[in-house]
Amino acid sequence: MGVQIAPIAVMTVFWGVVGIVLPFVVPKGPNRGVTQVVLMLTGATCWLFWLCCYMSQMNPLIGPRLSNHTLLLIAREWGNPINVTHGGVGH
């Protein structure tokens, strides 16, 4: 799985609207500045969180943990049998 441009573009536009466009359309009032900062921080942090999650799925650091028995079965089924000799070492 590689980088796909469409999901990154869609999410960047969505959170860009939340963090860049919406602060300009907040109605005037005593808490306008606070609301604008909340929208900007929400857009930036949610986009960054989404991007980190998306990137971690492209190239995971931790893969599935398989037992030796499972690995031997997979190798046999895929046509690459592994010969295991038990030379007195723990089973």
Can you give the pLDDT at residue 89?
A: 44
The SS3 assignment for 20 reads helix
Across 43-56, average pLDDT: 94
Instruction: Please give the Cα distance from 28 to 30 (Å, whole number).
Output: 7
56 pLDDT more than 80: yes
Burial class (CB in 10 A: 0-12, 13-18, 19+), 81: exposed
Instruction: Please give the Cα distance from 27 to 30 (Å, whole number).
Output: 10
Instruction: Please give the Cα distance from 11 to 8 (Å, whole number).
Output: 5
Q: Which of 7-21, 38-52, 69-83 has the lowest mean pLDDT?
A: 69-83
